[in-house]
Structure 1
Amino acid sequence: MSKAMEDTSNLIELDPDLYNEDLAPVAKEKRNWSWINFSTVWMGMVHNIVAYETAGSLLGLGMSVWQALGTVIVANIVLIMAMWLNGVAGAKYGLPFPVLVRAAFGYKGAHIPVLVRAFVAIFWFAVQAYAGSKAVGAVLGVLIPGWASLASYHVIGMGLNDAIALVLFWVLHAYIISHGMERVKFFELWAGPLVIILGLGLVAWAIYTADGMGPLFQEKSTLSGAEFWKVFAISVTGLVGTWATLILNIPDFTRFSRSQKDQVVGQAIGLPGTAIIFSLMSVIITSGTIIAFGRPIWDPVELLQQFDNPLVLILGAFSLLIATLSVNVAANVVSPAYDLVNLLPKKLNFVKAGLVSIVVAIFFMPWLWFDNAGTIFNILGAIGGALGPVAGIMIADFYIVRRREYSISAFYTKRGIYTYKNGWNPAALIALAIGLAASFIGLVVPALEVLYTYSWFLGIGFGFVSYVLLMRSVSQSMSESSVDNITSSVQ
């Protein structure tokens, strides 16, 4: 029997510290996500306020429309390749990220990348929730007389009206999370397409405002040759950083796939396809704002308010609200929920862990620092740099060290082939340190500042190569059957 076909009923020595139902392999009969589900999940995740602002803010950095589109295309090609590579193991074994990462780091060592991933996801949840709450506030401002006057009362750094909108949006997240992964799947089926309708409406407005498509693409770049390439590198790294978290935990979704073909085709349609289209819409609309208002407006809520039409504002803001709920639950709650379950399998399940995550997110207080194009890309670069090495190590472990073969039983015992040295794999920890050093050396050494613009690429590359070399130094054999020798030699 293939290892991929092993059933949890055959697992030996199920350790309660490493196993519960949420961490178990998904049964074959429950792997029912088709390519349509993956397409709509990605559509829902891509079509959100932060992704819109990120693409539109490329014009704010001085790029032309064509330069901005080229940047987005390059970033999405990189992203889909990484998603495919790291999604295969999830679809093959039905296992989530916190379990799969044990193979490289050991069952104790895995807590490090899991905690980093959970921390970043919760951070992103806070950012998206704040961005979406502005849409809630815009609608309430139309419906409730005197809503704007509440801004004179301050609560932890924001107006009372903004605080109320934020709390209401948080409650909506809690409602969806409380119904588990099935609610996530069905919610995504209609959330993504709704945003496309809003986007198409704004594109039509931009074309009408500019008297055709031509003027929208004639805005000149303000960047010189060398200056453009520097901004291009920062922007590609930043755009990859937008989804660097999902590169790690894409197995949390592909574990439900009916087949490898479903996850490959679905992600191909949903990520580069809809992401590029959505980014094209964003830059066209933002270009239209330059013509209409004399400045780029990449905040869609601010743009909707420019129309001074209550119906347009309500319908548009509702679409943005649904879009943000969609991406936040799928991208920024699913992952930390599984991560926290992995840390406390005896006390938490998916729903409880998801609710804990959104409570912790409040403490990031994004309302104090959000709304700046330069800040967005600096944060995205840092996130990508932190998570790149982990992705490199996971990909190297599955494809090079393990030759695409894992032992399911060993994931749930403290005496298996993924035990290494008391649950820690020194090779993975050293590779992680090397990858992080490569990612951030440009941030701490002024003479190497240019390297920081490639933080994610350096992180994933150095993490990959150093892990392979370190594991080879332990044993020349990289087959699954020889890992016992690797373990004993490390110990």
Structure 2
Amino acid sequence: MTHATDPALYNDDLAPIPVEKRDWTWINMATVWMGMVHNIVVYEGAAGLMALGFSAWECMEVVAVSYMVLFVAMWFNARAGTRYGIPFCVLIRSAFGPFGAQLPVVLRGFCAIFWFSVQAFAATQAIDAIVGTVWPWWNTLAMPLLGMSLHRWGALCLVWALHVWVMNHGVTRIRNFELVAGPLVIVIGAMATGWALHVGHGLGPLFAVPSRLHGSAFTLAFAEGVTGMIGMWATFAVNIPDLSRFVRSQRDQVLGQAIGLPVTALVFTPMAIITTSATVLLFGRPIWNPVELLLALNHPVVTVLGGAVIVLATLSVNVVANIMPACYDLINLAPQTLNFRRAGFLVLVLGLLFMPWLWFSEAESIYRVLDIISGLLGPVTGIMLADYFVLRRQNLVVADLYRRDGRYAGRHGWHLPAPVAFVVGGVCANIGIIIPALASVGSVSWFVGLGVAAALYLALAGRKARHA
């Protein structure tokens, strides 16, 4: 196929993976998701739900609905990746055109690198706690440098080195790493839950707290909770083809995602709530930050082992959910210069430039920015689903995705219905920011963006096709 491709749109990393080389089974897909679902952001997500006024059991209902919606979206959006062996940044060209595709690709890449940076700093805190526990002199390296102490810089370097080690041999090492990391985190989480049940003599105080929400207030908060949980994975709902392209069959990708996504989330969420219940009894308040909990327990062995688990969990989510998609997105921008390994190192450098230690003191700002980005990625998901399942009827001419003059080229590389639908859908999803009276739209922003963009795209693209 390479003789007909444009060098600006193609290299070996972006090329379709032949069927005979797609060796991921449902087990690989499930363990990858297990490794991603167990991360600090998801762990602390339960705190946000309970802060809204839900009971622990209602939190479980929010999680169940959220992850079932995500599962359905990712199940369908993954199909093209499995069928054709192509990544998100190539698949999106059928809707946006080869140059127009750079718009959602850059947006997704920005979000991936930002999340990598934030998650990596969470692991940095854990490494810092581990080393400071084993060698107390470590904590004396307190000289400030660019807003962070010298010993924290040392921990950050160690975390970045661990990411380099996992990424050094590309997708094969990532697959093998997740095969071990995903299940291991569940086992250790179960041990922590057992400890919490022992301390709390049962499910604990948080499960005994009744709901503070009723009637319309409950309905609105439930919608906000579901949208917020979806927002954590809105980025991955877009680029799931980056993973599904390695899976050998549609059955494997569906079964793997079903086990690894909603099932694992429903197991992990009560673990987080039960463990936090034990902190209420021990310290008189809920401690949702795992690193803070380890330091509060003040037991060297627990700090070291628990910190290692946090680092493992962070690595498992970062390499798949953030570094891998960011690599493909960067390669898509410069396929003649970048390959997977070079792009991986570039992601690590760009992640440092985000200076996550400064953002951590402004958590509200982080989530405000990421909520807006998630609201913009809902329209991308809607456009992708509408394009592939309705407009293209699940049939793509793959060779034309790598050409400027193919059937997906549009006008000068832009298929205009997609950018128009993307902008309108994004504005509708975030309309509450512009018009405060419509702030309630924010509680269902992902759904609004997806629905508006999909409908408008089909209306514009269908009309264009009829007049072609």
Please say whether Structure 1 and Structure 2 have the same fold, judged by a TM-score greater than 0.5.
Answer: yes
Query: Cα offset for 1:409?
Result: 1.2
Give the counterpart of 1:90 among 81, 103, 126: 81
Task: Give the aligned partner of residue 256 of structure 2.
Answer: 266
Are residues 1:342 and 2:332 paired?
yes
**Structure 1 segments (4+ residues) deviating >3 Å:** 221-231, 371-380
- Counterparts of 1:382-393 in structure 2, within 5 Å, are 382-393=372-383
Task: Give the aligned partner of residue 463 of structure 1.
Answer: 453
Give the counterpart of 1:159 among 149, 162, 167: 149
Are residues 1:363 and 2:349 paired?
no
SS in 1 for 2:408: coil
Report the more deviating stretch, 120-129 or 172-181.
Answer: 172-181
Give the counterpart of 2:34 among 15, 28, 43: 43
TM-score (norm 2): 0.96
Q: Deviations over 1:138-189 (max 9, x none)?
A: 10111112323333x2122222222221121011111211210001000001
Distance (whole Å) between structure 2 residues aligned to residue 160 and residue 456 of structure 1: 41
Distance (whole Å) between structure 1 residues aligned to residue 188 and residue 221 of structure 2: 30
Question: Does the aligned pair in 2 maintain the 1:82–1:247 contact within 8 Å?
Answer: yes
Distance 1:431 1:362, change over 3 A: same
Task: Give the aligned partner of residue 433 of structure 1.
Answer: 423
Question: Does the aligned pair in 1 maintain the 2:200–2:277 contact within 8 Å?
Answer: no
Question: Does the aligned pair in 2 maintain the 1:54–1:373 contact within 8 Å?
Answer: no
Q: Deviations over 1:324-369 (max 9, x none)?
A: 0111001101101011111101000011111101211112222223
| Structure 1, unpaired ranges of 5+ | 1-7, 477-485
Distance 1:170 1:161, change over 3 A: same
Distance 1:216 1:436, change over 3 A: closer
Query: Cα offset for 1:238?
Result: 1.5
Distance (whole Å) between structure 1 residues aligned to residue 48 and residue 464 of structure 2: 47
Give the counterpart of 1:245 among 230, 235, 257: 235
Code of the residue aligned with 2:77 in structure 1: it is N
Task: Give the aligned partner of residue 295 of structure 1.
Answer: 285
Q: Deviations over 1:420-454 (max 9, x none)?
A: 10110111111011111111111111111111121
Distance (whole Å) between structure 2 residues aligned to residue 12 and residue 414 of structure 1: 14
Task: Give the aligned partner of residue 126 of structure 2.
Answer: 135
Question: Does the aligned pair in 2 maintain the 1:71–1:236 contact within 8 Å?
Answer: yes
Distance 1:267 1:454, change over 3 A: same
- Counterparts of 1:212-227 in structure 2, within 5 Å, are 212-213=202-203, 215-223=205-213, 225-227=215-217
Question: Does the aligned pair in 1 maintain the 2:376–2:422 contact within 8 Å?
Answer: no
- Counterparts of 1:85-484 in structure 2, within 5 Å, are 85-151=76-142, 153-213=143-203, 215-223=205-213, 225-370=215-360, 377-476=367-466
Question: Does the aligned pair in 2 maintain the 1:237–1:381 contact within 8 Å?
Answer: no
Distance (whole Å) between structure 2 residues aligned to residue 78 and residue 380 of structure 1: 19
Question: Does the aligned pair in 1 maintain the 2:359–2:366 contact within 8 Å?
Answer: no
Task: Give the aligned partner of residue 59 of structure 1.
Answer: 50
Query: Cα offset for 1:57?
Result: 3.5
Distance (whole Å) between structure 1 residues aligned to residue 204 and residue 117 of structure 2: 38
Distance (whole Å) between structure 2 residues aligned to residue 34 and residue 471 of structure 1: 36
Code of the residue aligned with 2:240 in structure 1: it is I
SS in 2 for 1:416: coil
Distance (whole Å) between structure 1 residues aligned to residue 370 and residue 426 of structure 2: 15
Percent identical pairs in the alignment equals: 48
Query: Cα offset for 1:133?
Result: 1.0
Distance (whole Å) between structure 1 residues aligned to residue 369 and residue 57 of structure 2: 24
How many residue pairs are counted as aligned between the two chains? 468
| Structure 2, unpaired ranges of 5+ | none
Question: Does the aligned pair in 2 maintain the 1:381–1:453 contact within 8 Å?
Answer: no
Question: Does the aligned pair in 1 maintain the 2:111–2:370 contact within 8 Å?
Answer: no
Code of the residue aligned with 2:8 in structure 1: it is D
Distance 1:418 1:466, change over 3 A: same
- Once superposed, what is the RMSD of the aligned Cα atoms? 1.7
Distance (whole Å) between structure 2 residues aligned to residue 363 and residue 460 of structure 1: 31
Distance 1:371 1:46, change over 3 A: farther
Question: Does the aligned pair in 2 maintain the 1:382–1:455 contact within 8 Å?
Answer: no
Query: Cα offset for 1:71?
Result: 1.1
